[in-house]
Structure 1
């Protein structure tokens, strides 16, 4: 079983592992237009770190724990269609929406400023 962590970002909780990439809606207090490819990011909202033998759970977050990663690129999610119709009023409205996403890769999981789990190359 590989080491993993549970983080909170973009209004959702993600289970992340080193070496894998993830799509999130937005990062708190970061503007996606200012973040280019290969920008380094640090995520401090780590809820849990688990390895082969131990599980560390924070209340609400772990102190001294962080996730190091880098941004691969920004992209748009699949289009959703919103169709509103009011019966007996002859009113119809069709809209579409594409959510902006940021794809990032996790390089390492750190606890107390030590790299515990690095990406396997």
Structure 2
């Protein structure tokens, strides 16, 4: 290869590294989470701090390997409801807005999940 070709390859490689180095990791969106879970009736958090603490607690459970079915059951018990959607909605909002890096793990856990009858 000639010098010009090698220079172009090196420059292209450096540009790719620069793009990867400046890519922003997925970040929590506390405001988005709060709007989505406090505007929807049924959760009745006493304040924003309690709502965020609960959501981050869901994230901790996802990251520790708690199964999707157990997460739903925990939320249903915590909010004294049998509403499957209420449980799955809060899990979804927690993962999407507060711990997006855990979405893949949550999806793996939810694969094959069948709501209880």
What TM-score does the superposition give when structure 2 sets the normalisation length? Answer: 0.23
Higher helix share: 2
What TM-score does the superposition give when structure 1 sets the normalisation length? Answer: 0.22
Q: Which has the larger radius of gyration?
A: 2
